[in-house]
Amino acid sequence: MFEEIENYAKENFIPIIRPNSREILIAEVKKLSPSKILEIGSAIGYSGLCMLFASSASLVTIEKDEERVTMARQNFERYNVSKRVQLITDDALKVLTNLAEEEAKFDFVFLDGPKGQYHKYLPLISKLLVKGGTLVADNVSVMGLVDSTEPIAHKHRTMVVNMRKFLSEVTSSSQFESRILKIEDGILIAKRK
């Protein structure tokens, strides 16, 4: 549906959600039929568009990279959904903290930002997600390193340790009913009890 964006992302090495993970994300959005979606990691707007076209929801999406924000804004405009989108250019932890202080509520959260930060976002996401809402987190396998028993290269160690912490916190939390799908780079689906 958004082939032009997919091709641009591939040619310019911009990470976007992979095909099977995208289909799971769309299925979850359709199943829940959310009214307010929060996305952490807009990139160029691809996954945001997928969620918007799968629902009638409004989208709050956060992206730190100004160049990507510009492209995301253009893509939202091109597909006539910009009226349903609030695109925030800032650090996700700061934005999530502000949203939690404002007592904002979302019924769906898609987490696809910096992998080493997921564990820092979780307490804030827990506050923002309504009961019965769903959290979908992408790339939770971190290139297969999370489940690896081999020593982790120094450059990936902190990210892998932090992702393991995030997964442990979600899967052991009494607030969430969760499952991890071992497809592509791993996707976590957690429903807020």
Strands (E) located in the chain: 36-40, 58-63, 85-89, 106-111, 129-138, 176-181, 187-192
Q: Which of 2, 23, 5, 22 is nearest to 14 (CA)?
A: 5
Q: What is the mean pLDDT of residues 73-80?
A: 96
Q: How confident is the model at residue 15 (pLDDT cuts 50, 70, 90)?
A: confident
Instruction: Please report the domains of the chain, with CATH numbers, ordered by start residue.
Output: 3-192 (3.40.50.150)
Q: How confident is the model at residue 149 (pLDDT cuts 50, 70, 90)?
A: confident
Instruction: Please give the pLDDT value at position 2.
Output: 86
Average pLDDT of the residues of the chain: 95
Against a cut of 0.85, is the pTM above it?
yes
Task: Count the Cβ atoms, other than its own, within 10 Å of residue 7.
Answer: 10
Answer whether residue 141 shows pLDDT above 90: yes
Q: What is the spatial distance between Cα 87 and Cα 17, in angstroms, rounded to a whole number?
A: 18
